[in-house]
Protein backbone atom coordinates (compact mmCIF):
# COMPACT_ATOMS: atom_id res chain seq x y z
CA UNK A 1 0.00 0.00 0.00
CA UNK A 2 1.36 3.36 -0.96
CA UNK A 3 2.25 5.58 1.98
CA UNK A 4 2.70 9.28 1.29
CA UNK A 5 1.60 10.44 4.74
CA UNK A 6 5.21 11.12 5.77
CA UNK A 7 5.36 13.97 3.20
CA UNK A 8 2.75 15.87 5.24
CA UNK A 9 4.78 15.77 8.44
CA UNK A 10 6.11 18.90 10.17
CA UNK A 11 9.63 17.96 9.08
CA UNK A 12 8.77 17.99 5.38
CA UNK A 13 6.75 21.17 5.68
CA UNK A 14 9.90 22.68 7.20
CA UNK A 15 11.92 21.52 4.19
CA UNK A 16 9.27 23.02 1.91
CA UNK A 17 9.51 26.35 3.75
CA UNK A 18 13.29 26.32 3.27
CA UNK A 19 12.82 25.65 -0.47
CA UNK A 20 10.32 28.52 -0.74
CA UNK A 21 12.65 30.94 1.05
CA UNK A 22 15.54 29.84 -1.16
CA UNK A 23 13.40 30.36 -4.27
CA UNK A 24 12.39 33.85 -3.10
CA UNK A 25 16.03 34.76 -2.54
CA UNK A 26 16.87 33.49 -6.03
CA UNK A 27 14.05 35.60 -7.51
CA UNK A 28 15.33 38.69 -5.69
CA UNK A 29 18.86 38.06 -6.96
CA UNK A 30 17.52 37.53 -10.46
CA UNK A 31 15.66 40.85 -10.30
CA UNK A 32 18.82 42.52 -9.02
CA UNK A 33 20.73 41.23 -12.03
CA UNK A 34 17.98 42.51 -14.33
CA UNK A 35 18.18 45.94 -12.68
CA UNK A 36 21.94 45.91 -13.21
CA UNK A 37 21.33 45.05 -16.86
CA UNK A 38 18.94 47.98 -17.20
CA UNK A 39 21.49 50.32 -15.61
CA UNK A 40 24.10 49.09 -18.10
CA UNK A 41 21.74 49.62 -21.03
CA UNK A 42 21.00 53.17 -19.86
CA UNK A 43 24.74 53.79 -19.52
CA UNK A 44 25.34 52.44 -23.02
CA UNK A 45 22.59 54.65 -24.45
CA UNK A 46 24.29 57.73 -22.96
CA UNK A 47 27.53 56.78 -24.70
CA UNK A 48 25.70 56.25 -28.01
CA UNK A 49 23.71 59.48 -27.77
CA UNK A 50 26.29 61.83 -26.27
CA UNK A 51 29.87 60.75 -26.79
CA UNK A 52 30.28 61.75 -30.45
CA UNK A 53 27.85 64.67 -30.39
CA UNK A 54 28.97 68.16 -31.43
CA UNK A 55 30.34 70.25 -28.54
CA UNK A 56 27.99 72.76 -26.93
CA UNK A 57 28.65 75.65 -24.57
CA UNK A 58 29.12 74.64 -20.95
CA UNK A 59 26.35 77.00 -19.83
CA UNK A 60 23.90 75.27 -22.19
CA UNK A 61 24.25 72.06 -20.16
CA UNK A 62 25.09 73.29 -16.66
CA UNK A 63 23.09 76.40 -15.92
CA UNK A 64 24.34 76.60 -12.32
CA UNK A 65 27.58 75.39 -10.79
CA UNK A 66 25.81 72.66 -8.82
CA UNK A 67 23.57 71.44 -11.68
CA UNK A 68 23.88 67.87 -12.89
CA UNK A 69 21.76 65.35 -14.75
CA UNK A 70 23.11 61.84 -15.34
CA UNK A 71 21.61 61.87 -18.84
CA UNK A 72 24.25 64.50 -19.76
CA UNK A 73 27.13 62.10 -19.07
CA UNK A 74 29.72 62.15 -21.90
CA UNK A 75 28.24 65.29 -23.47
CA UNK A 76 31.09 67.32 -25.08
CA UNK A 77 31.17 70.93 -23.85
CA UNK A 78 33.33 73.83 -25.00
CA UNK A 79 34.67 76.55 -22.70
CA UNK A 80 37.42 79.17 -22.68
CA UNK A 81 39.55 80.16 -19.72
CA UNK A 82 42.96 79.89 -18.11
CA UNK A 83 44.36 76.85 -16.32
CA UNK A 84 45.29 77.30 -12.65
CA UNK A 85 48.36 75.08 -12.76
CA UNK A 86 49.40 75.83 -9.18
CA UNK A 87 46.13 74.29 -7.96
CA UNK A 88 46.50 71.12 -10.01
CA UNK A 89 46.06 67.83 -8.08
CA UNK A 90 46.49 64.13 -8.75
CA UNK A 91 43.80 61.52 -8.12
CA UNK A 92 45.61 58.46 -6.81
CA UNK A 93 44.85 54.75 -7.33
CA UNK A 94 43.59 55.05 -10.89
CA UNK A 95 44.58 51.88 -12.81
CA UNK A 96 44.67 51.79 -16.59
CA UNK A 97 45.15 48.55 -18.53
CA UNK A 98 46.31 46.89 -15.33
CA UNK A 99 48.95 49.53 -14.53
CA UNK A 100 48.65 51.80 -11.48
CA UNK A 101 48.62 55.53 -11.99
CA UNK A 102 46.99 58.91 -11.45
CA UNK A 103 44.42 61.19 -13.04
CA UNK A 104 45.55 64.82 -13.48
CA UNK A 105 42.89 67.35 -12.41
CA UNK A 106 43.54 70.96 -13.40
CA UNK A 107 41.12 73.77 -12.50
CA UNK A 108 40.13 75.99 -15.42
CA UNK A 109 39.06 79.53 -14.53
CA UNK A 110 36.43 80.75 -16.97
CA UNK A 111 35.80 84.32 -18.16
CA UNK A 112 33.07 84.88 -15.56
CA UNK A 113 35.47 83.91 -12.76
CA UNK A 114 33.94 80.50 -12.07
CA UNK A 115 36.14 77.41 -11.93
CA UNK A 116 35.57 74.17 -13.83
CA UNK A 117 37.65 71.05 -13.07
CA UNK A 118 39.25 69.41 -16.10
CA UNK A 119 40.63 65.87 -15.99
CA UNK A 120 43.52 66.24 -18.43
CA UNK A 121 44.27 62.52 -18.53
CA UNK A 122 46.18 59.66 -16.93
CA UNK A 123 49.82 59.22 -15.93
CA UNK A 124 51.55 56.02 -14.77
CA UNK A 125 53.18 55.67 -11.37
CA UNK A 126 56.88 56.46 -11.53
CA UNK A 127 59.68 53.93 -11.42
CA UNK A 128 61.14 55.05 -8.11
CA UNK A 129 58.31 56.76 -6.24
CA UNK A 130 54.55 56.81 -5.71
CA UNK A 131 54.20 59.72 -8.13
CA UNK A 132 54.39 60.18 -11.88
CA UNK A 133 57.92 60.71 -13.17
CA UNK A 134 56.72 64.00 -14.69
CA UNK A 135 53.43 65.86 -15.00
CA UNK A 136 53.08 67.65 -18.38
CA UNK A 137 52.20 71.32 -17.95
CA UNK A 138 48.88 72.58 -19.34
CA UNK A 139 48.85 75.36 -21.95
CA UNK A 140 49.47 78.79 -20.46
CA UNK A 141 47.26 81.80 -21.04
CA UNK A 142 43.82 81.65 -22.56
CA UNK A 143 42.85 78.23 -23.84
CA UNK A 144 39.72 76.78 -25.41
CA UNK A 145 38.91 73.39 -23.98
CA UNK A 146 36.55 70.69 -25.19
CA UNK A 147 35.78 68.09 -22.51
CA UNK A 148 33.19 65.39 -21.92
CA UNK A 149 31.09 65.74 -18.79
CA UNK A 150 31.06 63.28 -15.91
CA UNK A 151 29.31 63.52 -12.56
CA UNK A 152 31.42 64.11 -9.47
CA UNK A 153 32.36 61.20 -7.24
CA UNK A 154 31.34 60.68 -3.61
CA UNK A 155 33.74 61.02 -0.70
CA UNK A 156 35.38 57.82 0.54
CA UNK A 157 35.34 57.79 4.34
CA UNK A 158 38.70 56.90 5.83
CA UNK A 159 40.54 57.24 2.51
CA UNK A 160 43.30 59.82 2.71
CA UNK A 161 45.95 61.11 0.33
CA UNK A 162 49.28 62.99 0.55
CA UNK A 163 49.56 66.70 -0.20
CA UNK A 164 48.85 67.46 -3.85
CA UNK A 165 46.75 64.31 -4.20
CA UNK A 166 43.14 63.32 -3.57
CA UNK A 167 41.50 59.92 -3.15
CA UNK A 168 38.39 60.60 -5.26
CA UNK A 169 37.01 63.27 -7.57
CA UNK A 170 34.96 64.87 -4.81
CA UNK A 171 34.27 68.26 -6.37
CA UNK A 172 33.04 69.82 -3.13
CA UNK A 173 36.60 69.91 -1.80
CA UNK A 174 37.57 72.23 -4.68
CA UNK A 175 34.77 74.59 -3.67
CA UNK A 176 36.47 74.94 -0.28
CA UNK A 177 39.74 75.80 -2.00
CA UNK A 178 38.59 78.77 -4.12
CA UNK A 179 36.79 82.01 -3.34
CA UNK A 180 35.16 81.91 -6.79
CA UNK A 181 32.18 79.64 -7.64
CA UNK A 182 33.27 76.11 -8.51
CA UNK A 183 31.29 73.64 -10.61
CA UNK A 184 30.49 70.89 -8.10
CA UNK A 185 27.95 68.90 -10.11
CA UNK A 186 30.26 67.70 -12.86
CA UNK A 187 33.78 67.81 -14.21
CA UNK A 188 35.16 67.17 -17.70
CA UNK A 189 37.39 64.55 -19.33
CA UNK A 190 39.65 66.44 -21.69
CA UNK A 191 39.15 65.91 -25.40
CA UNK A 192 41.17 68.80 -26.91
CA UNK A 193 42.92 72.07 -26.06
CA UNK A 194 43.51 75.07 -28.30
CA UNK A 195 46.33 76.05 -28.31
CA UNK A 196 47.77 72.59 -27.75
CA UNK A 197 50.30 72.20 -24.93
CA UNK A 198 53.95 72.69 -25.83
CA UNK A 199 54.79 69.49 -23.98
CA UNK A 200 53.12 66.11 -24.29
CA UNK A 201 49.81 65.75 -22.47
CA UNK A 202 48.65 62.96 -20.15
CA UNK A 203 47.12 59.89 -21.75
CA UNK A 204 43.51 60.61 -22.80
CA UNK A 205 40.61 58.64 -21.38
CA UNK A 206 39.39 55.57 -23.24
CA UNK A 207 36.00 55.63 -24.90
CA UNK A 208 33.62 53.51 -22.79
CA UNK A 209 32.94 50.07 -24.20
CA UNK A 210 29.37 49.15 -25.11
CA UNK A 211 29.03 45.90 -23.20
CA UNK A 212 25.95 44.64 -21.37
CA UNK A 213 27.95 42.08 -19.42
CA UNK A 214 26.55 38.74 -18.23
CA UNK A 215 23.67 40.11 -16.17
CA UNK A 216 20.94 38.52 -18.31
CA UNK A 217 22.48 35.04 -18.13
CA UNK A 218 23.01 35.44 -14.38
CA UNK A 219 19.35 36.41 -13.99
CA UNK A 220 18.26 33.19 -15.73
CA UNK A 221 20.73 31.16 -13.67
CA UNK A 222 19.24 32.42 -10.40
CA UNK A 223 15.75 31.42 -11.59
CA UNK A 224 17.05 27.97 -12.49
CA UNK A 225 18.66 27.66 -9.05
CA UNK A 226 15.30 28.50 -7.45
CA UNK A 227 13.58 25.75 -9.47
CA UNK A 228 16.35 23.28 -8.64
CA UNK A 229 15.58 23.76 -4.97
CA UNK A 230 12.07 22.38 -5.53
CA UNK A 231 13.45 19.65 -7.81
CA UNK A 232 15.83 18.53 -5.05
CA UNK A 233 12.97 18.55 -2.55
CA UNK A 234 10.88 16.35 -4.87
CA UNK A 235 13.83 13.98 -5.31
CA UNK A 236 14.28 13.71 -1.52
CA UNK A 237 10.56 12.96 -1.05
CA UNK A 238 10.71 10.27 -3.72
CA UNK A 239 13.79 8.62 -2.18
CA UNK A 240 12.19 8.55 1.28
CA UNK A 241 9.01 7.10 -0.22
CA UNK A 242 11.03 4.31 -1.84
CA UNK A 243 12.82 3.61 1.42
CA UNK A 244 9.64 3.48 3.50
CA UNK A 245 7.81 1.32 0.94
CA UNK A 246 10.68 -0.99 0.02
CA UNK A 247 8.62 -4.07 1.05
CA UNK A 248 5.63 -3.14 -1.10
CA UNK A 249 5.36 -5.58 -4.06
CA UNK A 250 4.65 -2.83 -6.55
CA UNK A 251 7.64 -0.83 -5.34
CA UNK A 252 9.82 -3.96 -5.48
CA UNK A 253 8.78 -4.44 -9.10
CA UNK A 254 9.63 -0.84 -9.94
CA UNK A 255 13.01 -1.16 -8.19
CA UNK A 256 13.78 -4.31 -10.17
CA UNK A 257 12.86 -2.55 -13.40
CA UNK A 258 15.15 0.38 -12.54
CA UNK A 259 17.99 -2.05 -11.80
CA UNK A 260 17.40 -3.82 -15.12
CA UNK A 261 17.58 -0.50 -17.02
CA UNK A 262 20.78 0.49 -15.22
CA UNK A 263 22.33 -2.84 -16.09
CA UNK A 264 21.30 -2.43 -19.73
CA UNK A 265 23.11 0.91 -19.87
CA UNK A 266 26.37 -0.56 -18.55
CA UNK A 267 29.24 -0.61 -21.02
CA UNK A 268 32.06 -3.10 -21.45
CA UNK A 269 34.32 -0.67 -19.63
CA UNK A 270 32.00 -0.71 -16.61
CA UNK A 271 32.12 -4.50 -16.49
CA UNK A 272 35.92 -4.50 -16.81
CA UNK A 273 36.17 -1.96 -13.98
CA UNK A 274 34.02 -4.18 -11.75
CA UNK A 275 36.21 -7.21 -12.52
CA UNK A 276 39.37 -5.23 -11.72
CA UNK A 277 37.88 -3.96 -8.46
CA UNK A 278 36.80 -7.49 -7.48
CA UNK A 279 40.27 -8.84 -8.31
CA UNK A 280 42.00 -6.16 -6.24
CA UNK A 281 39.61 -6.77 -3.33
CA UNK A 282 40.36 -10.53 -3.47
CA UNK A 283 44.10 -9.86 -3.51
CA UNK A 284 43.82 -7.82 -0.31
Under a CB-based contact definition with an 8 Å cutoff, are residues 106 and 120 in contact? yes
Residue 97 DSSP label: T
CA distance 84 to 142: 11
What is residue 283's predicted lDDT score, i.e. its pLDDT? 54
What is residue 176's predicted lDDT score, i.e. its pLDDT? 85
What is residue 130's predicted lDDT score, i.e. its pLDDT? 82
The enclosing H or E element of 181 equals: none
Positions of the chain with pLDDT under 50? 1
What is residue 1's predicted lDDT score, i.e. its pLDDT? 42
* Residue ranges per structural domain of the chain: 52-194
Taking phi over 0 as left and psi of -120 to 50 as alpha, with beta for the rest, 42 belongs to alpha
What is residue 18's predicted lDDT score, i.e. its pLDDT? 92
pTM for the full model? 0.74
Query: Which three-class secondary structure state does DSSP give residue 269?
Result: helix
Amino acid sequence: MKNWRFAFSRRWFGYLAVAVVFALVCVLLSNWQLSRLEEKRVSNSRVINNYDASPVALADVLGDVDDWNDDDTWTPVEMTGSYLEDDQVLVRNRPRSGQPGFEVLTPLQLADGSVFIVDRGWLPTGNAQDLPDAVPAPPSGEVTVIARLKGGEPALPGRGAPDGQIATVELAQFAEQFDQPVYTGAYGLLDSEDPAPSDSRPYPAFKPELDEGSHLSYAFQWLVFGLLGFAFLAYAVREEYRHLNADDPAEKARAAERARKRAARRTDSDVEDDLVDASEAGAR
